[in-house]
Amino acid sequence: MVVVTNLVDFEADEERIGLLNANLASSWSHRATAGALLLGGGLAAFRAWHAPRRRRWWGATAAALVFLFVVEVSPAHVQVDRLSYGKLIYVPLLACLVVCVLRLVEGSEQVTEMRVALAALAGSYAIHVLGPDAVRALGWGTDSWAYQVKVGLKEGTELSGWLLLVLALWRSGQRHGVSRRLSPRLRHGNGRPAARQT
């Protein structure tokens, strides 16, 4: 979807629409990514408040996602990208986030979903770091279709990765929340309340 809308905008030439231009922070894909980060950060903060045994993992996840949201919506995002090795600044934070989210979905049905999300984010990061040089090496400039496809792929895989990550966190949190609420009353036998003692 991001590739298509970006190429439609690219073909508009002088009448380009900022909302469709994936190169710009004002594009729909950047806004959707920011929304996913904020939603994920809020969800993780809520879980940290209500899940004492997993509080540190939820708390660290919330902090990382909220920080990435702030970077996404601030001028810092562009300034960091302009540094020669600026993209590597995010590596420690992203590594910490990977450890946290894998810990949170450990032993649940969301493990595969989370791995797909992380693979999409890793692919997006690789395109972000290596893509511009690869496109230039093949002889294409920033005003070429190839470069715009690269931009669309980077933004699209990033957006899908964050959305899947938030969905996996939400489902994992639901599972733990339900089991925690039911466990004090429904631990006996086949899930039926224990018989009253007389």
Q: Break the chain into its structural domains and give their ranges.
A: 2-11+18-174
**Are 96 and 56 in contact, with CB atoms under 8 Å apart?**
no
pLDDT of 130 over the 90 cut = no
DSSP one-letter string for the chain: -HHHHHHHHHHTGGG--TTT-TTSTTSHHHHHHHHHHHHHHHHHHHHHHH-GGGHHHHHHHHHHHHHHHHHHHSTHHHHHHHSTTGGGGGHHHHHHHHHHHHHHHTTSTTHHHHHHHHHHHHHHHHHHHHHHHHHHHTT--TTSHHHHHHHHHHHHHHHHHHHHHHHHHHHHHHHHHHHHHHTTTS-STTTPPPPPP-
Q: State both tokens at 108.
A: 């649940």
Average pLDDT of the segment spanning 101-124: 93
Q: Would you call 78 exposed, middle or buried from its count of C-beta atoms within 10 A (0-12, 13-18, 19+)?
A: exposed
Query: Model confidence over 50-76: pLDDT tens digits?
Result: 877 888 999 999 999 999 999 888 877
Of 22, 36, 8, nearest to 170 (Cα)? 36
Q: Please report the pLDDT score of residue 183 as a whole number.
A: 42
Q: What percent of the chain has pLDDT over 90?
A: 37
Average pLDDT of the segment spanning 35-46: 94
Q: Please report the pLDDT score of residue 184 as a whole number.
A: 45
- Residue 69 CA to residue 87 CA, distance in Å, equals 16
Q: Please report the pLDDT score of residue 177 as a whole number.
A: 54
The whole-model pTM stands at 0.78
- Residue 148 CA to residue 9 CA, distance in Å, equals 10
Higher pLDDT, 25 or 94: 94
